[in-house]
Amino acid sequence: MNTLKRLSNSTLVLLLCLGLGAFAGVFAGPAGALAYFAGQIYLAIVNMAAVPLLVFAMFFGLRQLLSLPRPGLRIGTMFALAVALVAACAAAGTLAGVAVAPGQSLSNGAHAQLGQLVLQSASDAEDMRMTLFGHGRPAASPGALVLSDVVPDNFFRVLADGHALGILTGTILFGMAFAALTSEQTSVLNGVFEGIYRTLEAIIKHANLLLPVLVFGTAAHVVGQTERATLSAMGGFLLCFGLLALLLCGVALAAIAASARAPFGRVVACLKAPMLIGLTSGSATAPIPHTIEAMSTRLGFSRGVVELVVPFGVVFVRAGSALYFALAAVFVANLYDCPLGVGDMVLIGAASVMAAFISAGQSGVAGVGYAGFVLSMLRLPVEAAVVLLVAIDLICEGPRNLLSLLCVCTVVALVSAGLPADRLALLDLHTSPEPRAALRFSFTRGQLALTAVCVLMAASLIVLMGIGVGAK
């Protein structure tokens, strides 16, 4: 078990699986398909445990946060920081897109390839629209919200359907009411919740042992399903998005290191496991247990804040999606030779922030569909652009999740300022203080003899008392 854990957390092993998966996608399609099928089973197990884990983590986090000093100020600060980080990523994507101008100088062959890709998908565009936005219900426009999914009339229905917004609403209301009760009234239920919470954490941690298989299968699937001509035509957008996401991730790690007062390398080492899982699993909820452990136990931030912000943030603080939407809008505008002015840039940034929050609870292809909300503001062709973005979604999903996760950790670091640390383990044994000497007792021979006599006398008295009681 320990060997599998080390392999699943090893950067070298995951990179090796990534390379072997790409090779299998070209030369060994059946092996890649089998690994991809196993990876989908892994994701199903993780998502099965992640939804109730999100409920219990937020429940405990809300209860602990309400007992901290100035809880209202900290909750307000949390929301303000979340909005600010999402807006900053949207602004960075807009400015970088205008500066680098991906899609502006494509060759005729690249234009022809993208046009052919759109035409191939035109026949089933309506079916794709139903899949992206409907999930079996009547098709809705991008960005449309159903009130019952946000404020549910049946908590078990949204829990079964996996509607994250409704789950969060019900959890917050229940947690606030539960926190108002006394500890005597809630002791039994609190113990039950704690046991369920730890069990779900264990399920996800054991499922994450299959992470190398998922990386191998996903790489094989991406290489096998994506045409090289499409990757070449979208190469400018992919390169710009990847480098910008990497730069913003570095800024977020630096902010966390400054708040934790720890070296940058140590912060990276502590967050390596959740970062690898977020980058390679394709699931925003899979890194939750590792992130809570790393931010509270290893980096010393308040566990109450961590357990509230991390589950809440993976749903709402979609900074990676805001960056992606803004850059995609600039790319499509350049692709259709649509000049952008200052007003258009501001509109792209604001619409990207709105789309990021509106798409809360959506992931994968369903989340990409909300890019149409931004494109519709610029009156650009939505269906054709979404087809192009869906073709490269598997490549962009990992960097989106990683940037969003690190922005959530940044919110935790900034909100936890001034609170007592919850660090339970030392980060570096070589820099830890020397352990204190153990308490020792020393006796002289006379003291030992006196102690032995006292023990014998006490034993004799106990025997005599027993005899006397028995004689009666």
232-277: per-residue pLDDT in tens?
Answer: 777 888 899 999 999 999 999 999 999 988 899 999 988 988 888 8
∠ Cα 85 87 91 (to 5°): 115
284-314: per-residue pLDDT in tens?
Answer: 877 888 888 889 888 888 888 888 888 888 8
AA letter at 96: A
Q: For residue 297, give the DSSP letter.
A: I
Interatomic CA distance for residues 85 and 94, integer angstroms: 14
> What mean pLDDT is reported for the chain?
76
User: How many CA within 13 A on the CB side of residue 4?
Assistant: 9
Contacts of 468 (CB under 8 A, 6+ apart): none
Q: Which domains does the chain have, with CATH numbers?
A: 2-415 (1.10.3860.10)
User: How many CA within 13 A on the CB side of residue 385?
Assistant: 27
109-120: per-residue pLDDT in tens?
Answer: 776 767 776 666
Q: Is the pTM of this model over 0.85?
A: no
52-71: per-residue pLDDT in tens?
Answer: 777 777 777 777 777 777 77
